[in-house]
Amino acid sequence: MEIGAYSFGDTPLNPDGSHRSTAEALRNLFDAIVHADAAGLDYFGVGEHHTVSMPASSPGAVIAAAAGATTQIKLGSAASIISTDDPVRVYQQFAIADAISGGGRVEITAGRGSSVETFPLFGYDMAAYDQLFAEKLDLLMRINTNKDEYLTWSGSVRPALDNLAVVPRPVNGPMPIWLATGGNAGSSARAGQLGLPISYGIIGGVPHRFAPLAQLYRASAEQAGHTGENIKVSVAALGLVAPTKKEALERFYPGWHNVNVEMGRLRGWPAPDKKAYLAQAEAPGAYYIGNPDEVAERIVHLHDYMGHMRHFLQMDVGGLPQEHYLESLTLLATEVKPRVERLLARSN
C-alpha cells in the first residue's frame, strides 16, 4: 500500500482571516513536497484549482520544480483538468518533470473538473463538458502510447495534429495516466474500458460505499480485456494526523470550516456544521483525522472493501499552519505507513 498526500496549494491566513500571498502558498507547497520526500512518503499529488485560497493552478510547474528537489517520492497531478487545458501542453509539462526527476517518478491524473472555474477562465462552454473530456483524454492517451515523437490526430475540440512532434518523451516510455472521479459510475466504467488506473476522490459520506464502483471498474476492465498492472485503484481523502485524536480534530476544524464557508458561497453548500464534521471524523466517516493508530486502522478497513493500492490525504485546507502540516506529513510517513503495512501483512 502506497501512502501519500495531495494539495491544491493552501494559502495561509492572517490573524484577521484575510489571505496572505498566493506566492507564499506555493512556496509552502514546494517545501511540503520536499519534506514529504525526506520523511519517506510514497506519493505526493498536486491538484489544479484557480482560486485565491487554492492557487496551485499549474500542477505540472509545481511537480517539475519538486522533481529536481526530491529523490524518491512519486509525483503526480491530483488532478489535471484536461477538459479545459491542452493535452499536448499537459503532456509536455509532465514529460519535462519526468526528465528532471531522472525518470519513472511522474504521473498524470486526468480529471473533468468538479470545480468549474476553469470553464469561464479559459473560455470553454459547460455544455461541452463530456465531449471536451472524452476527446482530450483520447489525445492524451494517444500521445502517451505513441511509439515516437511524431503524432497524427484529429478531433473537434482542438486543431488536428498532422505528423507533428510532441516532445520531450518520458525517460522510460509511457507515463502512468490515471482517471480521476468523484464517484461517477460512468467514469468507473470508462476507466476500466480504457485500461486506465482509477483514482477515487472521497470527501464525504461513507467511504466503503465506493466499493461497488471499484467492482464496476474491475469488471469493465476485464470485459475489455485489460488485466495488467495498470488495473489498480487509489483513494484520495481528507485527513490530518497528530499525536492525539484531540489535537488532530482541533487542528483540522478551523480550516475545514473556512473551506466550507467559501464553498458555500461558490457552490451553494449549506453552512458548515461542527456536528457533521465530528461525525465524518469518526468511523465509518470520510475524514481520516486522528492519531497514527486510528488513521492506519481506518485505511486498512477501507482496503478490505476497495482493494486499493494507494491512499493519500489532503491535509492543508483553509489555512492550516505549515508546522502542523509538516508534522502530519512526518507522522503519515513514519507512523501511519508502517502500521498500515503491519496490519495488511497480518490480514494476508
3-state secondary structure of 45: strand
Encode 223-257: b = buried (16+ Cβ within 10 Å), e = exposed. Answer: eeebeeebbbbbbbbbbbbbeebebbbebbbbbbb
How far is residue 112 from each of residues 61, 141, 152, 161, 284, measured CA to CA in Å? Answer: 20, 15, 24, 23, 28
Instruction: Report the pLDDT value the prediction gives residue 265, as an integer from 0 to 100.
Output: 82
Instruction: Report the pLDDT value the prediction gives residue 267, as an integer from 0 to 100.
Output: 77
How far is residue 310 from each of residues 54, 291, 300, 318, 341, measured CA to CA in Å? Answer: 24, 19, 11, 25, 12
Instruction: Give the Cα separation of 321 and 325 in Å (integer).
Output: 7
Tens of pLDDT, residues 139-148: 999 999 999 9
Q: Which residues of the chain have pLDDT under 70?
A: 114
Instruction: Report the pLDDT value the prediction gives residue 300, as an integer from 0 to 100.
Output: 98
Burial class (CB in 10 A: 0-12, 13-18, 19+), 301: middle
pTM for the predicted model, two decimal places: 0.97
Instruction: Report the pLDDT value the prediction gives residue 116, as an integer from 0 to 100.
Output: 81
Instruction: Report the pLDDT value the prediction gives residue 319, as an integer from 0 to 100.
Output: 95
3-state secondary structure of 237: strand
